Amino acid sequence: MTNDEIRDFLQQSIDENRVMLFMKGTPNQPACGFSARTAAALNALGVQYAALDILPDPRIREELSALSGWPTIPQLFVDKELVGGSDIVIEMFEAGELAELLGVEQPEEFAAEPQPEPVKRPIGLENRLD
């Protein structure tokens, strides 16, 4: 797969999924704490989202960062717009802003920073970038 094909796939993923998370690992098996906390925030809100593991090919991260202008992983997109990385997502979650952006209620039992846990809600994207 060429770099252009990777970039096209990433853009298509952003365009086709209202909530798109690019992360290290998967929501069920995050490969870093930042990705785990970001997925946990989405899970706590009960929203459906798509997630893509950027680890199988270093070009995925390179092309994603070139596309978004954001250097770190994870990267959360909502309605085709970059929301940000883990720190921004967690701040928004704690302030209730992420729930508002996603059009859901902020759960009272998750008033503090969400903790990673096994999930069932994400839509798995087939990773055709290997």
> Could you give all domains of the chain from N- to C-terminal order, each with its CATH number?
3-123 (3.40.30.10)
**What span, in angstroms and rounded, lies between the C-alpha atoms of 64 and 9?**
10
Q: What is the pLDDT of residue 66?
A: 96
Residues 106 and 42 sit within 8 Å (Cβ to Cβ): no
Q: Which of 87, 109, 66, 89 is nearest to 19 (CA)?
A: 89
pTM of the predicted structure, to 2 decimals = 0.83
**What span, in angstroms and rounded, lies between the C-alpha atoms of 41 and 1?**
33
Tens-digit pLDDT profile for residues 74-91: 999 999 999 999 999 999
Is the previous residue joined to 74 through a cis bond, with omega within 30 degrees of 0?
yes
The rounded mean pLDDT for the chain is 89
